[in-house]
Chain A
């Protein structure tokens, strides 16, 4: 019989909700703390499914790649983790599929980063290619601030020497977080904040939002571009329509659960994952 392994490193609210849902649905599973795991010792068979929930993207990708090499179905696949884990790769994929997103530039030198920020027009947002929870986002309002930030980034290691610069979007105080399972948009929340960063990890307040046909159509396109079993898409609403800001490949969903949206995300997710077991 196939088995479901849930790999994790930190027992966040999400992992607790996943374990609770697995118990509630009567789905057999093995919780695996990655800290203590030796993959060569774990009995795994093709047809088994692994839900990869490590806090570290690096650990999660390495784990998924090893499991996939042994014929294990991973959620998400490592290719999706890599695509979503790199904001530049995500932006390129969205662009390839003609999906509207904030205007952006990628610079490979400090000098060109200043030029591109000027071309976009202030304010702009500098984002690290790898990062989450709103870490190291910088809204830059003028050339002097851009030059100072770029100088600081030049001392932060190789990862920060590729500059991802987005045109700042006036989003009216909220962004939208939509959770997709198996390519199907399940729930949407507005994340409101007085701060320009609206992540609920940074204190944004969540409110349920209805998924209309226009939004669903856009989200299906996003899934076509990114693939993935379990995604969270962040969008901005503008006068010209929705813009896709980011796609998360290791979603946190504590703010999108029943109490806010009426949707049992962990329950639907574990049933979906269990069905993948061969």
Chain B
């Protein structure tokens, strides 16, 4: 399955098993995209690092 990058319209090949929250990188523009839902498949530009993220 493929999906278009919402930033550059490049084509992303979906991995065989994809999960919500997974990060994908557009091969054309390098934008990090986050899988928001699997069914239906929906991607959004991944948010910037927040102050309280991490360990």
A→B interface (CB under 8 Å): 8-11, 15, 19, 31, 33, 35-36, 55-58, 85, 128, 130-133, 135, 159, 201, 232, 248-252
Contacts and interface: CB of A to CB of B under 8 A. Distances in A.
Contacts of B55: 132-133, 232, 248-252
A15 B51 contact: no
Contacts of A251: 55
Contacts of B20: 11, 33, 35-36
Contacts of A15: 21
Contact of B19 (A31, A57, A248, A250): A31
B51 to A, nearest CB: 7
Contact of B53 (A56, A128, A159): A56
Interface in B28-55: 34-37, 49-55
Nearest to B20: A33
Interface residues of B, number: 16
Contacts of B22: 11
Given A11-B23, A57-B52, A130-B52, 12 more contacts: A8-B21, A11-B20, A33-B21, A56-B50, A85-B52, A132-B54, A132-B55, A133-B54, A135-B51, A201-B54, A232-B55, A251-B55
Contacts of A55: 53-54
11 contacts: A33-B20, A35-B20, A55-B54, A57-B52, A85-B52, A131-B54, A132-B52, A132-B53, A132-B55, A201-B54, A232-B55
B20 to A, nearest CB: 4
A130 B21 contact: no
A74 to B, nearest CB: 17
Contacts of A36: 20, 37
Nearest to B21: A11
A132 B35 CA distance: 24
B54 A9 contact: no
Given A10-B34, A35-B36, A58 B52 contact: yes
Given A10-B34, A35-B36, A57 B54 contact: yes
Nearest to B46: A10
Contacts of B53: 55-57, 132-133
A190 to B, nearest CB: 18
A57 B50 CA distance: 10
- 3 A-B pairs with the lowest CB-CB distances in the bound complex, closest first: A132-B54, A248-B55, A11-B21
A128 B20 CA distance: 31
A248 B51 CA distance: 16
A9 B52 contact: no
Nearest to A231: B55
Contact of A11 (B19, B37, B52, B54): B19
Contacts of A9: 21
A55 B36 CA distance: 15
Contact of B21 (A10, A56, A250): A10
